[in-house]
Amino acid sequence: MTNSTASYSSGQQHMHMFGYNSDYGTLSNSYSSQGYGSYDHFTMSMFQGSDHYPYNWYSTVSPDGRMSMHSFHGSDHHQKYYRRINVIMKAGRRPRRQFNISNFYFTETGQGSRYGCKSSLDLSTNSYQYFGGSSHAPGSNNYGSGCYNQRTKTLVLYYATSNGASQGDFYIYRGTKDLMSEIECPKVEDFFDNCTISKQRSNDATNWGYSSLNYNVNLVMGDNDHVGVNIRQSSNNMYRSFDCTTTTMNNTSMSYYSTRNEGQTTSYGPEQGMHYRARMVLSWDTEWAGLYSPYYYYGCGATIYFCSTLDPRRMVHMQWSQSNQGGILTPSGRNGFKIFHGANTDGQPIQSWGCELGETSHDPTQNFNYYTNDQGYNDSIRSISNFSGTMSNSFASYTFQYPGYHYSTSYPRFANVSWWENKNGYVETSS
């Protein structure tokens, strides 16, 4: 989305919500003065991306390019992010259903609104309450998060042991039915009633489970039953990978692969509101996840952990230390990612950064190989150490020539397409 002159908020797209009130997302705004309550001003913020669900804060775009704007007068356009779990889908798809975790309750709600509960299950009752004599039932306090892996039909839920505790429990639900299938699981209890369940205690995890984090623990349920865990609190962005392969109850401390903590500029996080929680974006083949949050207060820059969804022990970091304007993180190609920067295009095309991961394996013992989009045809592949390596973040002005931008004063804005066609003829059937 481009505009003939950035100072005119409606511009070529004639966006009524911007024209109604010029304070809503002035397109030349560089995020220099807003407070965290002014989330509806951040038209080009890393917070505005749709993550792996087919939903954007500001707009919805159909596959043929038709765009509709959301209203800023209600809270619905950001409350969608509050409680939903992460989902590792089959290749070429986004989640078609939205599942949420809040206290004792695991629910499905409509994707078109934060309201409209379709089905609900209280995990503190009946056979869902106790595991191996433990008093730490799922949902025993307010702080929970989750991730479902459709490929393995496995769900992980994480709860702190109590309000403000630095320890937590992982509950692993190994299903025989696909939670994402409306045929196999028309209600959420259809999944939970057909599971084998194990509970495992995490070891001391600094700042995990504190009340300011609420539901902000960002989980990746790997195909190999290792769970990648990412948190963002204030100026810290942390990642660990826990071994949850056992099928028996385990109330002792768990082992983790390694710990990585990246210091950032103090930025807004869940302590300012749950719509500031860390997000997840999946590659089109869904074998790679980008766990990300902004680098700077107002949604500028990015701090990202790219990890394998096949083996979350496979991880590298990328940091974009940008403190004005913003961007959007989006999947690119089969197994790559790109960041589009909303900087002024006066004298340059739209700037972008990207990584292509087709030349790296999912083996955590090997170096991490990748290409970035500032490389020429004669540049060699880049290689960094797994887990401790950091990707190059050089932005390229001429990576692609995007149609529609004005090669003058223009601050582009981006919106993800809400859905796409099925890949490889993948159609859900009863079989």
Instruction: Give CA–CA dist 243/416, Å, rounded.
Output: 34
Establish if 402 belongs to a structural domain. no
Q: What is the mean pLDDT, run by run of 10 residues, along the chain of 431 residues? A: 52 54 54 63 73 76 72 65 86 86 86 77 70 57 83 91 75 93 94 86 64 75 95 85 82 80 81 80 94 85 95 96 85 89 79 91 96 77 95 74 63 71 48 35
Name residue 328's amino acid.
I
| Domain assignment present for 400 | no
275 domain-assigned? yes
Predicted structure pTM score? 0.90
Phi, psi of 155 (to 5 degrees): -115, 135
Residue 49 structural domain: 11-384
Spatial neighbors of 364 by CB under 8 A, at least 6 apart, are 257, 308, 311, 313, 314, 386, 387
What gap in Å lies between CA 22 and CA 30, rounded to an integer? 15
Distance between CA atoms of 294 and 266, rounded to whole angstroms? 10
pLDDT at position 6: 46
Q: What phi and psi values does residue 50 have, to the nearest 5 degrees?
A: -85, 5
Q: Is residue 1 part of a domain?
A: no
> Per-residue DSSP letters for 165-199?
-S-EEEEEEEESS-TT-TTT-SSHHHHHTTEEEEE
Residue 352 has, within 13 A of its CA and on its CB side, a CA count of 24
Residue 55: CB atoms within 10 A of its CB come to 20
Domain membership flag for residue 324: yes
Query: 130 near 138, Cβ under 8 Å?
Result: no
Six-digit token pair at 259?
């710990």
**Coil, strand, or helix at residue 13?**
helix
265: in domain: yes
Residue 61 forms part of a structural domain: yes
Residue 116: CA atoms inside 13 Å, Cβ hemisphere, count? 10
The whole-angstrom separation of Cα 204 and Cα 271 is 21
Q: Is residue 403 part of a domain?
A: no
273 three-class SS = coil
Number of domains in the chain: 1
Buried b (16+ CB within 10 A) or exposed e, 294-311: bbbbbbbbbbbbbbbbbb
- DSSP track, 141-169: SS-EEEEEETTTTEEEEEEESSTT-S-EE
Q: Which residues of 351-387 are buried (b: 16+ CB within 10 A; e: fewer)?
A: bbbbbbbeebbbebeeebebbbbbbeeeeeebebebb
